Structure 1
Amino acid sequence: MSRRNQFKGICHDILGTFVSRYNDHDGYWSLGQYVALLERLGEGQLQLKLRDATETSDGRVITVSEEYYRGAVLRMMEANSMPKVWLANATIKVSIIAPAKVACEIEIVSDLGRAYRSERTITVRPHDPVIELRRTDRFGPSNQKGR
């Protein structure tokens, strides 16, 4: 029998894949692209809404990531025999906390109003295609490659 406290494990697992170097978009590490976007916008925090889509003109990488991770949460809930109605809200936040450091946090709120969270601090520099090598292979892990 499934329990809502399984959201704790889902938070941990989703955040692990989110901060992973295998989380790439267009061949580059997504987290570096988020930091570059934040710097370009002059903001300190970015929020991916996993329940409803975010409207951004700048952020194709955001839209793709939201779509992927929204599906990932639902797939993990299904694998744990959790009804979709248990998911009231879910967000992933990326906050710049120091030069080359970001805090990444996922929060899932159940239908009963209880929030489940997981957080990690990651060293990352902004995406720069001039000095980064682009992932060009079609094989191997990439979090957002498959749906």
Structure 2
Amino acid sequence: MARRNELGSIASGLIGSFNSRNNDVDGYWGIGKLHKFVENVSKKEVSIELLSGNISPKTNEFDSLIKFYRNRLEAHLKARSIPNSWIVAVEFTALFETEYEKKHHYWRSGLGKAYKLKCDILDDNGRHHIAYAYNNSRPHDPTRETRSCREVGF
């Protein structure tokens, strides 16, 4: 029997995948592309509401990414027999160029500046199921990166 506390595990799985180097947007690392997208914005933050498909700041560049993670969410819910009606909202937040946190960021473990990801699943009882991920990134630069040639099932 499905239980709402499983939504925390789903949030953790989604944010782990979102943080992964396998998170591609047009063959490049999705996090680097998001970082580039807010590079010239004072508040270096991107919010994606997965169910509605809304992204802030507004753009259509990440529609395939949103669709991919919406499908992943549905697959996780189906695998655990969790009804869609239990989910009110699912929000990804990416905050770039954050302060280094010794507890979460490993010094010199990656190139670029520290970032923080959050996945917040709000259930129908008003409870938030939150998972975080931390890493380092640089804004996307196609002259320094190799484009992935693998098939992506968006």
- TM-score w.r.t. the length of structure 1 is 0.88
After superposition, the C-alpha distances for 1:54-111 in whole angstroms (9 at most, x for unaligned) are: 16654412x2222211121111011100011000001000001146111000000001
Distance 2:123 2:72 in 1: 16
Q: Percent identity?
A: 26
RMSD of the alignment, in Å?
1.6
Question: Match for residue 116 of structure 1?
Answer: 129
What letter is aligned with 1:20?
S
| Greater helix content | 1
1:67-146 equivalences in 2 (<5 Å): 67-96=67-96, 97-98=98-99, 100-138=113-151, 145-146=152-153
* Alignment correspondent of 1:60: 61
Alignment match, 1:48: 48
Name the CA distance, whole Å, in 2 between partners of 1:35 and 1:48: 14
What is the rounded CA distance, in whole Å, between the counterparts of 1:73 and 1:137 in structure 2? 22
Corresponding residue pairs, total:
140
- Read off the aligned partner of 1:89 and give its amino acid letter: A
Shift of 1:41: 3.7
Q: Distance in 2 between matches of 1:13 and 1:46?
A: 19
| Aligned-residue offset at 1:25 | 1.1
